[in-house]
Amino acid sequence: MTDLLHAIYPWVKSLHVISVIAWMAGMFYLPRLFVYHVESVEKGSETDVLFQTMERRLLRVIINPAMTAAWVFGVLLALTPGIVDWGAVWPYTKFASVLALSGVHGMLSRYRKDFAAGKNVKSGRYYRLLNEAPTVLLVIIVVSIIARPF
C-alpha cells in the first residue's frame, strides 16, 4: 500500500487541490446567493424558484461532490508515509480548520433547505458575515499547509 500511495502521490495531490478549489468556489458563492435571495426576492415568485434551483444545484452538483473528493484525496495524502510531520502542530490546525469548514458547509446546506421550505429567518447581513467564514478558514488552512508556522 505504501508503494502505491507514493506512486500516485502527484495525482492524488493534484486532484485534492482541484477538489478544494471547486469546494471553495461554491462555499464563496452560495452565501452570496443567499444574500441576494433574502434581500431582492419575493417569496413564492418565479425569481424565488429560480434562486432555489440555483442554490440546490450549486450545492448538489458542485459543492457536495467537491467536498467529498477533497476529503477522500486529503485522507489519502495524510496516509502517504513521509508527507505529514505528525509531530508538528500544523496538521492538527489544518484538520481542525477543515472540520470547521465542513461545519459551515453543513450550515449552508441547512439554510438552503430553509429557503426551499419558505422558512428562512436570517438577514442579508447574517449571510454577508457568514460569507467571511470560508475565507478565514481558507487562510488558516493554506498558511498551515504551506508556511507551516506551527
Q: What pLDDT is attached to residue 10?
A: 96
Triad 127, 129, 134: Cα angle to 5°: 95
Q: 79-102, pLDDT tens digit by residue?
A: 999 999 999 999 999 999 999 999
**Would the pLDDT of 2 be above 90?**
no
* Rg, C-alpha atoms of the chain: 18
Between CA 45 and CA 78 the distance in angstroms is 47
**Would the pLDDT of 117 be above 90?**
yes
Question: Which residues, 6+ apart, have CB-to-CB distance to 51 below 8 Å?
Answer: 33, 36, 37, 41, 115
Residue 144 CB neighbour total at 10 angstroms: 22
What confidence tier does 62 reach under pLDDT thresholds 50, 70, 90? very high
pTM: 0.92
Of the chain, the percentage scoring pLDDT greater than 90 comes to 95
Domain ranges across the chain:
2-146
Phi and psi based region of residue 82 (left: phi greater than 0; alpha: psi -120 to 50; beta: remaining): left
